[in-house]
Amino acid sequence: MNGAEALLRSLVSSEVSTCFANPGTSEMQFVAALDRVPEMRAVLTLFEGVATGAADGYARMAGKPAATLLHLGPGFANGIANLHNARRAHSPIVNVVGDHATYHQRFDTRLQSDLSGLARTVSAWQRSTTRAEDVGADAAEAVAASYGPPGSISTLIVPADVSWNDGGVPAPPQAPPLRPVVPPETVEGVAKLLRSGERAALLIGGDAMRERGLVAAARIAHATNVKLLCETFPARHERGGSLPEIEKLAYYGEMATAQMAGIQRLVLAGARAPASFFAYPGKPSDLVPEGATVHLLAGVGHDVSAALDALADAVGARADPPRPRANRPDRPTGPLTTESMAAAVGHLLPEDAIVVDESITSGLSVPAATAGGPRHDWLALAGGSIGQGLPAATGAAVAAPGRRVLSLEADGSAMYTLQALWTQAREGLDVTTVLLANRSYTILQFELARVGVSGTGARATAMLDLTRPDLDFVSLASGMGVPAQRATTADELAALLERGFAQDGPMLIEAMLG
Amino acid sequence: MNGAEALLRSLVSSEVSTCFANPGTSEMQFVAALDRVPEMRAVLTLFEGVATGAADGYARMAGKPAATLLHLGPGFANGIANLHNARRAHSPIVNVVGDHATYHQRFDTRLQSDLSGLARTVSAWQRSTTRAEDVGADAAEAVAASYGPPGSISTLIVPADVSWNDGGVPAPPQAPPLRPVVPPETVEGVAKLLRSGERAALLIGGDAMRERGLVAAARIAHATNVKLLCETFPARHERGGSLPEIEKLAYYGEMATAQMAGIQRLVLAGARAPASFFAYPGKPSDLVPEGATVHLLAGVGHDVSAALDALADAVGARADPPRPRANRPDRPTGPLTTESMAAAVGHLLPEDAIVVDESITSGLSVPAATAGGPRHDWLALAGGSIGQGLPAATGAAVAAPGRRVLSLEADGSAMYTLQALWTQAREGLDVTTVLLANRSYTILQFELARVGVSGTGARATAMLDLTRPDLDFVSLASGMGVPAQRATTADELAALLERGFAQDGPMLIEAMLG
């Protein structure tokens, strides 16, 4: 058995059975081995950023890593932005990157680059295998390492001769490690603090954004009057149905400061101490309220939900918190605005949908419009690097067949990794994309003012403008095999959403926001 | 004056007057300063790989660097693949990358990443400026460093507070350094060797691919019967008109070996010792003929053309080599094949065109079909990372207004950085793209066999296949504002090429290769 086959068999035996691939010459043995290892599903992408973003979306929904298959240093580089996002989401990913044959590297040929240096920037675990005999075990170690906790990026560099040489040995399965449990003293300490009467806030994130953590947090808030907040960009937030609602920490610092005004104790559970996303002149970066002390209940690597359960019991919370009632917006009519768009989404969101949110400024009203809707998952842009939404929607759909993916995508952001649409069409994925067309980098118009610029001239304004020429997303999607329609009113959007949610396979709706 | 303005003024004063930009929040001061420094032309791109590939194409034609403007680590990462190509082409480029404010970095917020680590992988010079007072001088140093010689990548990291703080000082102009001259003893040594009667080859590359170097090389070959060869993927090759033709070293090792059979002395001038692009089982990576000795006349950083001139004089070559006659293919009719496509291009190529070649397997017949045509420049994929053609064509057109750019682009490669078309439309660039649609990664079908795979199954074959669904490049180009038409016969292609070459602004022709 050659190295490539041993690698594939080792991945599959550790339940890494999906690979988002953009291969080149140095990965041809891996490609050939796909026919001998049919348990591995290989999903072709046209660009590496699609592969890595899809692996992120997949990991968030499957709770286990996908592999990516990337070509040399430049191919890996094309995947880094979405690996950055995955790293911030704590998504486990196993990158398999082909390299030049071991004996070939000294020639420093055209496609050679500092692959190890690139891998180091985003990988918690990396290795360059040098023998076919080792590649199976190395793959298993890569999988194990990717679980962390918390989840992280593993990068296995496989020289071409390691793939084609005989002597490969498939590795036995690797079980995911258990998350460490928070010690009872820590829980008791926080419980004491919440009972002290001082004004406290509980900021949750990471795994606590799933049902168990949310219910526990709501119990705690109900029993103690602690102010409950969650991180701004959760990797996976279970919402809707009978799940407790939770207030998100605002993106802009001054709003976050207002949310936490008067807080003396800030307790963190799976979230980090709050800081401004960007720095702005004369505004603080540190958002911990002045004079407040910070207390760590559980780090992102802990079993955060179990810690919250224990805390709820320790503060004597009743078993079940009050649950919200279903509350959907009416079906909107009239002009298509960010508000009527949000209402249409809230009115029609299917049961068990997965919402992938890269709507930036255009989608600000959607969270409120969907909070009282049916149960769904919400995947946010955890690393802040745009170009993640369409790929993540693709990967989420691969991970969760039978569930509808709603991809809320801003026009400027869509253009980074639009190639994801082709993979959606190729795989027949149930992804409905609402392309929010405001034809500008609107967020940068806000940011320009916030960094202290006044009286912007024509040349600066042109850098934030996406007209000249207009992007036509109906043409762009059609060109990649995804059926597409344009909505210019709220009524049209609602009708198209109904159609998109009902039909098999992908569809794109270009929502022309007024 | 704030740091951003001092930075812009310093670039402009050193004649870096074009910036390919994809800015975010941390670059807003730079954007705002564009209105105060109108000498800087800012060209907006929708993706960072377009910005860096355009800077490469620009540098090859302008002979001086463009700046790029990129957003933080992930934005820089998106530009790395084409910076890799630029590095291999020895194109000078000055990257300006915004970073979080100096005092903000300790918070390790969502978008923070190892930007220095990323920059290190492709930059010959890099610096993170910490004070507004220094950024002007640092920018000037970045420009100077980018010239090398040979040309290379400079990356200047500019924290947001360095941009917005006052105290910026524009730097005086930096003159490009002279290239070192090859010592006369070296020239005389090689001359002796060529007169010795042993079978010798002269392999040229880099700057020697321009008129002066080509004429000198042809004089030498005529006087000494040295076998004249050039590198496979030159950054900029002046061809056609009355320029001497030159044989290219073949891409595949066994063909290159045949070209150099019997060679005892291999002289390098601006080229590196030949090595196989990839390694293949049982095939040599080192392509220096067995038993041959290698002699360096001039490295890529030297004044290679001057060294060749001196060598021509030293071997007593006559002043002017024989010049080829014009020889264009007839206008083709009938089915559209790679051969008839090449004939159409060769028949119609305009005077002084710039051909940007990312045609991979589909364009193999074009070099022969254009060799006897009018004078033109040929820009090859010097670093081997696909996704460079459309951006490089964009940058070349910005650098050379009034000249027609012919972008020969393979379908698989086009999908990496297709967003370049939007910038071509926005800037009204005279780029005619011939999109070569064979609907597969054809080169990988060859490579699969060459790495020793036989009897490929359906699952492997699917990874090389670009149908399911078909890509419709007419829709894709139209969606980005570039007029597009499909050619299904040689006659249609010729008619569309005539139209594309005659009209102002960009056009895309999807050539359906049978």
Alpha carbons B279 and B63: distance in angstroms, whole number: 33
Whole-number pLDDT of residue B388: 98
Instruction: Give residue B270's pLDDT band: very low, low, confident or very high (50, 70, 90).
Output: very high
* CA-based nearest distance A87→chain B, Å: 10
Pairing of strands A153-159, A376-379: unpaired
For chain A, what percent of residues have pLDDT higher than 90?
93
* CA-based nearest distance A81→chain B, Å: 4
In B406-425, the residues whose Cβ lies within 8 Å of chain A are 412, 415-416, 418-419, 422, 425
Q: What angle do CA A392, A398, A403 make, to 5 degrees?
A: 95
pLDDT tens per residue across span B375-395 = 999 999 999 999 999 999 999
Residue range A83-98: mean pLDDT, rounded: 98
Residue range B111-133: mean pLDDT, rounded: 98
Q: What are phi and psi of B158, to 5 degrees?
A: -125, 100
Inspect the interface and report whether the beta carbons of A453 and B279 lie closer than 8 Å: no
For B413, the token pair is: 């490669």
Q: Name the DSSP letter for residue A421.
A: H
Q: Which residues contact A479 (CB under 8 A, 6 or more apart)?
A: B471, B472, B473, B474, B475, B476, B479
Instruction: Give residue A497's pLDDT band: very low, low, confident or very high (50, 70, 90).
Output: very high
Residue range B357-386: mean pLDDT, rounded: 97
Inspect the interface and report whether the beta carbons of B160 and A77 lie closer than 8 Å: no
The 3-state DSSP class for residue B503 equals coil
Mean pLDDT of chain A: 96
Q: Which chain A residue shows the shortest CA-CA distance from B112?
A: A383
Alpha carbons A78 and A46: distance in angstroms, whole number: 11
* CA-based nearest distance B399→chain A, Å: 20
In A256-275, the residues whose Cβ lies within 8 Å of chain B are 275
Alpha carbons A81 and B75: distance in angstroms, whole number: 7
Whole-number pLDDT of residue A138: 98
Q: Which residues contact B415 (CB under 8 A, 6 or more apart)?
A: A46, A47, A419, A422, B471
Residue range A320-333: mean pLDDT, rounded: 91
Residue range B228-255: mean pLDDT, rounded: 96
Alpha carbons B136 and B463: distance in angstroms, whole number: 49
Q: Which residues contact A461 (CB under 8 A, 6 or more apart)?
A: none
Q: Which member of B451, B460, B469 has the closest CB to residue A481?
A: B469
**Is pLDDT of A493 > 90?**
yes
pLDDT tens per residue across span B29-74 = 999 999 999 999 999 999 999 999 999 999 999 999 999 999 999 9
E strand or H helix that includes residue B370: helix B366-370
Residue range B463-472: mean pLDDT, rounded: 94
Nearest of B478, B114, B249, B50 to residue A119 by alpha carbon? B114
Inspect the interface and report whether the beta carbons of A383 and B426 lie closer than 8 Å: no
User: Hunting for tokens 């040599």 — which residue is that?
Assistant: B284
**Is pLDDT of A182 > 80?**
yes
For B354, the token pair is: 């710039």
**Is pLDDT of A418 > 90?**
yes
Chain A residues with CB inside 8 Å of B49's CB?
78
Q: Which chain A residue shows the shortest CA-CA distance from B25?
A: A447
Q: Are A497 and A508 in contact (CB under 8 A)?
A: no
Q: Which chain B residue shows the shortest CA-CA distance from A37?
A: B459
Alpha carbons A86 and A55: distance in angstroms, whole number: 8
Q: Are A420 and A45 in contact (CB under 8 A)?
A: yes
Alpha carbons B281 and B448: distance in angstroms, whole number: 12
Chain A residues with CB inside 8 Å of B443's CB?
25
Within 10 Å of residue A68's Cβ, how many Cβ atoms?
34
Alpha carbons B420 and B398: distance in angstroms, whole number: 12
Chain B residues with CB inside 8 Å of A470's CB?
481
Alpha carbons B265 and B194: distance in angstroms, whole number: 9
Q: What angle do CA A466, A87, A66 make, to 5 degrees?
A: 100
Chain A residues with CB inside 8 Å of B111's CB?
277-278, 383-385
**Is pLDDT of A436 > 90?**
yes
* CA-based nearest distance B214→chain A, Å: 23
Q: Which member of B81, B460, B470 has the closest CB to residue A77?
A: B81
Inspect the interface and report whether the beta carbons of B382 and A110 lie closer than 8 Å: yes
pLDDT tens per residue across span A126-154 = 999 999 999 999 999 999 999 999 999 99
Pairing of strands B237-239, B376-379: antiparallel
**Is pLDDT of A455 > 80?**
no
Whole-number pLDDT of residue B158: 98
Q: What angle do CA A316, A319, A324 make, to 5 degrees?
A: 120
Whole-number pLDDT of residue B441: 87
**Is pLDDT of A11 > 90?**
yes
pLDDT tens per residue across span B398-442 = 999 999 999 999 999 999 999 999 999 999 999 999 999 998 888
In B434-473, the residues whose Cβ lies within 8 Å of chain A are 443-444, 447-448, 450-453, 456-460, 462-465, 468-473
Chain B residues with CB inside 8 Å of A103's CB?
279, 285
Chain A residues with CB inside 8 Å of B387's CB?
47, 78
Q: Are A311 and A220 in contact (CB under 8 A)?
A: yes
Residue range B247-266: mean pLDDT, rounded: 96
SS (H, E, C) A202-267: EEECHHHHCHHHHHHHHHHHHHHCCEEEECCCCCCEEECCCCCCCEECCCCHHHHHHHCCCCCEEE
Which residues sit opposite A59 in a β-bridge?
Answer: none
Whole-number pLDDT of residue A458: 92
The 3-state DSSP class for residue B51 equals helix
pLDDT tens per residue across span B303-355 = 999 999 999 999 999 988 888 888 999 999 999 999 999 999 999 999 999 99
Q: Are A392 and A356 in contact (CB under 8 A)?
A: yes
In A218-257, the residues whose Cβ lies within 8 Å of chain B are 233
Residue range B263-276: mean pLDDT, rounded: 97
Whole-number pLDDT of residue B175: 85
Provide Rg for chain A, Cα atoms.
24
**B149 preceded by cis ω (within 30°)?**
yes
Alpha carbons A481 and A219: distance in angstroms, whole number: 48
Q: Which member of B77, B275, B471 has the closest CB to residue A80?
A: B77
Whole-number pLDDT of residue A441: 87
Inspect the interface and report whether the beta carbons of B471 and A78 lie closer than 8 Å: no
Inspect the interface and report whether the beta carbons of B110 and A117 lie closer than 8 Å: no
Alpha carbons A168 and B49: distance in angstroms, whole number: 37
pLDDT tens per residue across span A289-311 = 999 999 999 999 999 999 999 99
In B311-350, the residues whose Cβ lies within 8 Å of chain A are none
pLDDT tens per residue across span A348-377 = 999 999 999 999 999 999 999 999 999 999
For B376, the token pair is: 């033109």
* CA-based nearest distance A121→chain B, Å: 6
Q: Which chain A residue shows the shortest CA-CA distance from B388?
A: A74
Q: Which chain A residue shows the shortest CA-CA distance from B4?
A: A453
pLDDT tens per residue across span B83-99 = 999 999 999 999 999 99
Chain B residues with CB inside 8 Å of A158's CB?
none
Q: What is the DSSP string of B414-462?
A: HTTSTTHHHHHHHHT--EEEEEEE-SB-HHHHHHHHHTT--S--HHHHH
Which residues sit opposite B166 in a β-bridge?
Answer: B2
Q: Which residues contact B33 (CB under 8 A, 6 or more apart)?
A: B2, B4, B5, B7, B8
Residue range B268-284: mean pLDDT, rounded: 96
Q: Among A17, A18, A28, which would you mutate to test the B interface (most chain B Cβ atoms within 10 Å of its Cβ)?
A: A28
Q: Which chain A residue shows the shortest CA-CA distance from B468?
A: A426
Q: Among B69, B278, B283, B422, which would you mutate to test the A interface (most chain A Cβ atoms within 10 Å of its Cβ)?
A: B278
**Is pLDDT of B454 > 90?**
no
Residue range A333-338: mean pLDDT, rounded: 98
Whole-number pLDDT of residue B448: 87
SS (H, E, C) B330-368: CCCCCECCHHHHHHHHHHHCCCCEEEEEECHHHHCCHHH
The 3-state DSSP class for residue B7 equals helix
Whole-number pLDDT of residue B93: 98
* CA-based nearest distance A246→chain B, Å: 21
Alpha carbons B31 and A452: distance in angstroms, whole number: 12
For A384, the token pair is: 């802040």
Inspect the interface and report whether the beta carbons of B160 and A279 lie closer than 8 Å: yes
Q: Are B360 and B444 in contact (CB under 8 A)?
A: no
Inspect the interface and report whether the beta carbons of B107 and A286 lie closer than 8 Å: yes
Chain A residues with CB inside 8 Å of B385's CB?
72, 74-75, 111
Nearest of A21, A59, A18 to residue A151 by alpha carbon? A59
**Residue A428 touches partner B, C-beta closer than 8 Å:** no
Whole-number pLDDT of residue A443: 87
E strand or H helix that includes residue B192: helix B184-195
Inspect the interface and report whether the beta carbons of B415 and A46 lie closer than 8 Å: yes
**Residue A124 touches partner B, C-beta closer than 8 Å:** no
Q: Among B12, B69, B84, B456, which would you mutate to test the A interface (most chain A Cβ atoms within 10 Å of its Cβ)?
A: B84
**Is pLDDT of A120 > 90?**
yes
In A358-417, the residues whose Cβ lies within 8 Å of chain B are 382-385, 387, 412, 415-416
Which residues sit opposite B98 in a β-bridge?
Answer: B71, B158
Instruction: Give residue A320's pLDDT band: very low, low, confident or very high (50, 70, 90).
Output: confident
Pairing of strands A507-512, A431-437: parallel
* CA-based nearest distance B190→chain A, Å: 24
Q: Which member of B21, B110, B387 has the closest CB to residue A277?
A: B110
Instruction: Give residue B514's pLDDT band: very low, low, confident or very high (50, 70, 90).
Output: confident
User: Hunting for tokens 């670009």 — which residue is that?
Assistant: B466
pLDDT tens per residue across span A221-256 = 999 989 999 999 999 999 999 999 999 999 999 999
Q: Which residues contact B293 (CB under 8 A, 6 or more apart)?
A: B264, B265, B266
Alpha carbons B380 and B387: distance in angstroms, whole number: 12
Q: Among A39, A88, A110, A422, which would you mutate to test the B interface (most chain B Cβ atoms within 10 Å of its Cβ)?
A: A110
Q: Which chain A residue shows the shortest CA-CA distance from B384?
A: A111
Nearest of A185, A203, A196, A205 to residue A267 by alpha carbon? A203
Inspect the interface and report whether the beta carbons of B121 and A122 lie closer than 8 Å: no
**Is pLDDT of B455 > 80?**
no
Please count the residue pairs, one from chain A and one from chain B, whose beta carbons lie less than 8 angstroms apart: 298
Inspect the interface and report whether the beta carbons of B463 and A35 lie closer than 8 Å: no
Residue range B471-495: mean pLDDT, rounded: 98
Q: Which residues contact B461 (CB under 8 A, 6 or more apart)?
A: none
Whole-number pLDDT of residue A336: 98
Domains and CATH numbers, chain B: 3-164 (3.40.50.970), 184-314 (3.40.50.1220), 338-512 (3.40.50.970)
